[in-house]
Amino acid sequence: MSILSRFADILSANINALLDKAEDPAKMVDKYLLDAREDLANVKKETATVMAEETRCLRKRDENKQEIDKYLALAKEALAQGNEGDAKVFLAKKQQLETLGASLETAYAAAHENATKMRQLHDKLSSDIAQLEAKKEAIKTKVSLAKTQETVNKYSGSAEKFTEVVGKFEEMEAKADKMLDTAAAAAELDAQPIDEAAALEAKYKAGMTASVEEELAELKKEMNIE
């Protein structure tokens, strides 16, 4: 049956390979689950049809066996009553039913095999979906953490660049300080040198002025000038 091969392929699909191909594993797992549920619905429908066929074949086979048993009992009853001709008629019918029974047995065996495969397929797909449902949140959590880590990495790089900028500013500040100190030193060197003689002159001029005053006072005393 083509349905068997189709869903066998679905069951053998590697979910990890699907996720590796996905740009966003969180979205991919949702899509996989959606597809898987649709496949499960189809499998369930097909399984019900195949199981119904199995039940029909089983019923036909059992009804045939009952008919065989019935005509065998009638043949025995006819013989018991001394009606050999009637017994032959019943046995001939029994043989016809046995020939038909062989075909019914073959049909039932095939239907049973198909139904068994479909039930196994249905159960396996249901199990796979249940497992993926359990993993879905874990996968989405990992994807979320990965995106968060990417953001952290991005801004960590920016912080490192900012640190470099701060270092450059400090370097420029040091250069500015050096330039200022150099300029101040140059200004000091450019200033007029101190005239030591002029400084001493002021000192001694003060001394000379004091002597004049003393002499004037002495002169006024001599001249009786108040």
* Chain segment 21-65, per-residue pLDDT in tens: 556 777 777 787 888 888 888 888 989 999 999 999 999 999 999
- Say if residue 139 is in the same domain as residue 216: no
Please tell me the total count of domains within the chain: 2
Residue 166's pLDDT is 65
- Answer whether residue 219 is part of any domain: yes
Residue 51's pLDDT is 93
- Say if residue 210 is in the same domain as residue 138: no
Angle separating helix axes 25-80 and 2-12, nearest 10 degrees: 140
Is residue 118 within 8 Å of 50, Cβ to Cβ?
yes
- Answer whether residue 176 is part of any domain: no
- Say if residue 201 is in the same domain as residue 134: no
Kindly list the distances between the CA atom of residue 83 and the CA atoms of 70, 72, 77, 93, in Å, as whole numbers in the listed order.
17, 14, 9, 16
- Say if residue 126 is in the same domain as residue 211: no
Q: Which residue has the higher pLDDT, 20 or 11?
A: 20
- Answer whether residue 9 is part of any domain: yes
Domain extent, residue 215, equals 195-226
- Answer whether residue 67 is part of any domain: yes
Is residue 93 within 8 Å of 74, Cβ to Cβ?
no
- Answer whether residue 130 is part of any domain: yes
Q: Which residue has the higher pLDDT, 180 or 14?
A: 180
Give me the CATH number covering residue 50: 1.10.287
* Residue 117: partners with Cβ closer than 8 Å, 6 or more residues away: 4
* Residue 63: partners with Cβ closer than 8 Å, 6 or more residues away: none
Share of the chain above pLDDT 70, in %: 67
- Say if residue 131 is in the same domain as residue 49: yes
Q: Tell me the pTM.
A: 0.49
Task: Pick the last residue of a domain from 158, 185, 217.
Answer: 158
Most confident range (mean pLDDT) of 2-6, 25-29, 198-202 is: 25-29
Q: What is the mean pLDDT of the chain?
A: 78
Of 77-86, 96-105, 138-147, 151-160, the poorest mean pLDDT is in 151-160
The confidence band for 17, taking pLDDT boundaries of 50, 70 and 90, is low
Residue 30's pLDDT is 79
CA-wise closest residue to 74 among 95, 88, 60, 62: 88
Residue 35's pLDDT is 83
3-class secondary structure for 106-148? HHHHHHHHHHHHHHHHHHHHHHHHHHHHHHHHHHHHHHHHHHH
Q: Which residue has the higher pLDDT, 12 or 172?
A: 172
User: Averaged over 177-189, what is the pLDDT?
Assistant: 72
Of 73-87, 95-109, 125-139, 202-216, the poorest mean pLDDT is in 202-216
Residue 1's pLDDT is 47
69: pLDDT strictly greater than 70: yes
- Say if residue 199 is in the same domain as residue 154: no
- Say if residue 10 is in the same domain as residue 119: yes
- Answer whether residue 185 is part of any domain: no
126 dihedral zone (left: phi>0; alpha: psi -120 to 50; beta): alpha
pLDDT digits (tens, 9 = 90+) for 140-182: 777 677 667 766 667 666 656 656 766 776 777 777 777 777 7
75: pLDDT strictly greater than 90: yes
- Answer whether residue 184 is part of any domain: no
Task: Pick the last residue of a domain from 106, 130, 158.
Answer: 158
- Say if residue 13 is in the same domain as residue 113: yes
Q: Which amino acid is at 114?
A: N
- Say if residue 126 is in the same domain as residue 69: yes
- Say if residue 36 is in the same domain as residue 88: yes
- Say if residue 200 is in the same domain as residue 152: no
- Say if residue 135 is in the same domain as residue 52: yes
Task: Pick the last residue of a domain from 158, 176, 211.
Answer: 158
- Answer whether residue 22 is part of any domain: yes
